[in-house]
Structures are given as structure tokens and as C-alpha cells.
């Protein structure tokens, strides 16, 4: 495996932080070299400096796509941090549904990885509305910067092991069995999720309407505090009054730094009167 010098690491880490928000502390040198070593070997680079020059010069965008796929941590699973989903089902949906005049409900899964989070939400919504679902537009926007995970999410195909944690009736109602211990989500659920490639560090957020709910869980743990709080401010501005923000269980927002009201650990709300 190629060694990375301190200067090369800093150059690459600065580039990654500036463009994708992901903050790699000095201790992450081994992790970074480990994740990128195959790429350097395949391209016959003999130093990280050469690799960096290639990334910056590449006009096709392919080099950056590969870099992002390598550096992002995409760990996720169905029903992850299940109390969030219970809160969404038991408090958020009844509240929003009873107040909605337009019968549309906009949920964004920001940093959706391979789809388990938005699909869990889609199944909850389907179950919640039941026969009335046809009167509602409850499509979920799901975004990530990694092309690799978005490709998986779009297919909606998961191994039996990955769907082991979901309730038996969901497996029955929402999945079709494929060969080789795999299952695919039925189109009724797949069609409820709109996947887009989107970098949360982009200057402009091109969304026409505000969201009622934003899930951005286990994404901002890779950002430094300033980057995180700038993003949380954008979420706040993009949220309907009364809307909810869910962040990961291991994350929190400093109450003095955000306009969001604390509801429960890792659940925040934009107050109705703002
Ligand atoms: C650990 S996964 C979390 C998935 C899911 N939200 C969950 O909690 O299970 C983090 C995801 O955030 C994405 N991500 C990291 N930085 C991002 C950025 N700047 N813009 C958009 N997505 C980003 C990664 O590609 C990765 O798929």
C-alpha cells in the first residue's frame, strides 16, 4: 500500500472538506489510504500527489465520483434507530395529516445511503394512510452524494439478511421474493421515493417547496460543528413551521446555536409560530 505524506493528506483532506463537508482528522490517514489504495493501483499512480492532481484536472467528473464512493461511510439498515420511526408514525403523521389542507406531506431523507431509511418511511406512510393513501401526495425525496449507494437504492433489491429486522407483515406486503435469498420492494413503495444525487454542501438548495420533515441522520457526524450548524440553518429555512428534524442518535444540536426547539433526544421542531 502506498504511503501518504502529511502534506498529501492535508491537501486531500482539505479538498474533501471544502467540497463535501467531510472532515478527516489526522488520525484518519490510515483509513483514507486504505480506502483509496485500490484506486491508485488501478490507475498506476505512484503517489497521492499525482492522484490529487488527477482529481482536480479531471473534467469528466468520474474521478470525483469514485473518490466520493470511497470516502463516504454508507452504513445503514431498515428500521435503524426505530424510536424515530415510531415517533414519526405515532406523533408526526397524525399531527401533519390532521392539519394539512392540501393533502401533501413532504419528507426529505438527506443522506439516504442505499435506501433503507426512505423505504422504511414509505412503508410507514403506506400503512398509516391505508385506503386513504390515494388522496395524498406523500412522496419522499431521498438524496445522497454517493452514486454507488443511489444505484442500490433505486433498484430496491435487498438480501434476506438486510430485511431480517423488518416486521413479518411488511415482508409479506411490501416485498417480492427474487432468487438467491434476495427480495425486491414492490413498485408501489419504490415509486413513493424520489432519488436524487445532491451534495449537502451545495450553495443553493433547489427545492421549490418547504419540507414538513427532514431526516438527516448519521450524516453530520462526519462534518465539523460549523459545517453542521450552517446546514442545520439551511434545513430550518427550508422547513414548514411545525416541521420536524431528525438527526442521528449519537448527534445533538447545541440549543444556543439553533432556532429549532428540542423535542426528544435527536428530534427537533420548527415552532408553529415563527
Ligand atoms: C452513514 S450514512 C447514513 C444513512 C442513513 N441516513 C442512516 O442513518 O442510516 C451517511 C450518508 O451520508 C452521505 N453523505 C455524506 N456527506 C454528504 C454530503 N456532503 N452530501 C450528501 N450526502 C452526504 C454518505 O454518502 C452516506 O451515504
Q: List, for residues 132-173, the tens digit of each pLDDT value.
A: 999 999 999 999 999 999 999 999 999 999 999 899 999 999
pLDDT in tens, 48-100: 999 999 999 999 989 999 999 999 999 999 999 999 999 999 999 999 999 98
Long-range contacts, 201-210 (Cβ 8 Å, 24+): 201/19, 201/20, 201/21, 201/227, 205/234, 205/238, 207/108, 207/141, 207/238, 209/106, 210/106, 210/238, 210/239, 210/240, 210/243
pLDDT in tens, 197-242: 999 999 999 999 999 999 999 999 999 999 999 999 999 999 999 9
DSSP letter, residue 223: S
* Cα–Cα dist 100/112, whole Å: 26
Give the mutation target among 68, 83, 111 for probing the ligand 1 site: most ligand atoms within 8 A of CB.
Answer: 111
Q: Residues with Cβ within 6 A of ligand 1?
A: 20-22, 72-76, 80, 111-113, 117, 144-146, 149, 199-201, 217-219, 222, 248
How much distance in Å is there from the Cα of 72 to the middle of ligand 1?
Answer: 7
pLDDT score for 180: 87
How much distance in Å is there from the Cα of 129 to the middle of ligand 1?
Answer: 28
Amino acid at each position: 500500500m502506498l504511503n501518504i505524506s502529511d502534506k498529501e493528506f492535508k491537501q486531500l483532506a482539505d479538498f474533501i472538506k471544502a467540497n463535501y463537508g467531510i472532515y478527516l482528522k489526522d488520525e484518519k490517514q490510515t483509513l483514507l489510504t486504505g480506502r483509496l489504495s485500490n484506486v491508485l493501483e488501478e490507475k498506476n499512480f505512484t503517489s497521492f500527489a499525482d492522484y490529487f492532481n488527477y482529481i482536480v484536472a479531471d473534467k469528466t467528473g468520474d474521478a470525483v465520483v469514485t473518490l466520493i464512493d470511497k470516502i463516504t461511510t454508507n452504513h445503514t439498515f431498515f428500521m435503524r434507530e426505530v424510536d424515530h420511526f415510531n415517533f414519526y408514525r405515532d406523533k408526526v403523521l397524525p399531527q401533519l395529516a390532521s392539519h394539512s389542507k392540501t393533502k401533501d406531506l413532504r419528507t426529505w431523507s438527506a443522506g439516504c445511503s442505499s435506501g433503507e431509511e426512505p423505504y422504511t418511511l414509505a412503508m410507514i406512510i403506506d400503512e398509516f394512510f391505508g385506503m386513504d393513501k390515494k388522496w395524498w401526495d406523500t412522496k419522499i425525496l431521498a438524496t445522497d452524494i454517493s452514486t454507488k449507494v443511489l444505484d442500490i437504492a433505486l433498484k430496491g433489491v435487498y438480501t434476506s439478511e438486510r430485511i431480517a429486522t423488518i416486521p413479518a407483515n411488511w415482508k409479506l406486503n411490501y416485498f417480492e421474493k427474487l432468487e438467491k435469498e434476495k427480495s425486491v420492494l414492490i413498485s408501489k413503495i419504490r415509486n413513493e421515493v424520489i432519488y436524487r444525487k445532491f451534495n449537502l454542501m451545495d450553495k443553493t438548495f433547489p427545492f421549490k417547496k418547504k419540507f414538513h420533515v427532514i431526516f438527516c441522520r448519521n450524516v453530520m457526524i462526519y462534518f465539523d460543528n460549523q459545517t453542521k450548524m450552517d446546514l442545520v440553518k439551511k434545513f430550518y429555512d427550508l422547513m414548514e413551521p411545525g416541521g420536524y428534524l431528525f438527526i442521528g442518535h449519537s448527534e445533538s444540536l447545541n440549543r444556543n446555536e439553533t432556532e429549532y426547539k428540542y423535542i426528544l433526544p435527536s428530534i427537533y421542531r420548527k415552532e408553529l409560530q415563527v
